Structure 1
Amino acid sequence: MEGIMALMIPIIALSIPIVAIWTKHQQKIAEMQISKTAEHTAEKAAQYASKMQALEDRVRVLERIVTDGGYDVATQIEALRDTRRVDEAGAGVPLGLHSKERV
């Protein structure tokens, strides 16, 4: 019995610091994971805040357009369609890209 006790005392004496070191290591890993998660969450929150601000600005502009009494939406839409037709038709200056110069 004394032989077993004599063997157990050094084993226990060596295992206590090992367990303490392992516990500290696990605690540091947990703290690093929490820190990383917090940074990621803060970054996402900032991105969502900027997107939200952009959407709020767009809604403000749309509200201003809709509530403006002198704004004629149909006329503006037709004006945009007319400019598209001009763009599609071209500038009116032939570039001659289809025919090549003979040398």
Structure 2
Amino acid sequence: MMDPALLIPILALSIPIVAIWTKHQQKLAEMNVQTTAQATAEQAAQYASKVQQLEDRVQVLERIVTDKGYDVATQIEALRDQRRVDDEGSGVPLGSLNREKA
């Protein structure tokens, strides 16, 4: 059997070891919390930046649509008409290319 007198020094030496281990675990937990907080703050900053960019874009689009009675459909049609005029005057019709190959 083990002598009870031997347990007293073992117990006396194990108390500081447990205290050191506990303190180390506490420091690790604090570092983990700090790392997580920093990562979360960076993600929040990125999110805020993206939201600001989107808000800026929406403001520009609102300004385009509301300023001076801007008519998007009319301008698109004007561009299409201009493109048709440009296409008619240039190039060779596709139908004539097929006839030349035959």
| Common fold: TM-score over 0.5 | yes
More helix by share: 2
* Offset from partner CA, 1:53-85 (integer Å, 9 cap, x none): 001001111211222233121233235556877
The residue aligned with 2:99 is none
- Measure, in 2, the Cα distance between the counterparts of 1:36 and 1:84: 57
The residue aligned with 2:14 is 15
Residues matched between the structures, number: 88
TM-score relative to the length of structure 1: 0.70
- Measure, in 2, the Cα distance between the counterparts of 1:50 and 1:83: 39
* Offset from partner CA, 1:25-74 (integer Å, 9 cap, x none): 10011011001101100110010000000010011112112222331212
Flag structure 2 segments of 5+ consecutive residues without an equivalent.
92-102
Amino acid in structure 2 at the alignment position of 1:4: D
The residue aligned with 2:58 is 59
Flag structure 1 segments of 5+ consecutive residues without an equivalent.
93-103
RMSD: 2.7
TM-score relative to the length of structure 2: 0.70
Structure 1 segments of 4+ aligned residues over 2 angstroms from their partners: 75-86
| Paired-residue identity, % | 77
The residue aligned with 1:95 is none
Amino acid in structure 2 at the alignment position of 1:56: E
Amino acid in structure 2 at the alignment position of 1:72: D
The residue aligned with 1:72 is 71
- Measure, in 2, the Cα distance between the counterparts of 1:18 and 1:80: 81
Alignment of 1:36-51 (within 5 A): 36-51=35-50
- Measure, in 1, the Cα distance between the counterparts of 2:47 and 2:82: 36
- Measure, in 2, the Cα distance between the counterparts of 1:18 and 1:28: 15
Do the aligned residues in 1 keep the contact of 2:64 with 2:70 (CA within 8 Å)?
yes
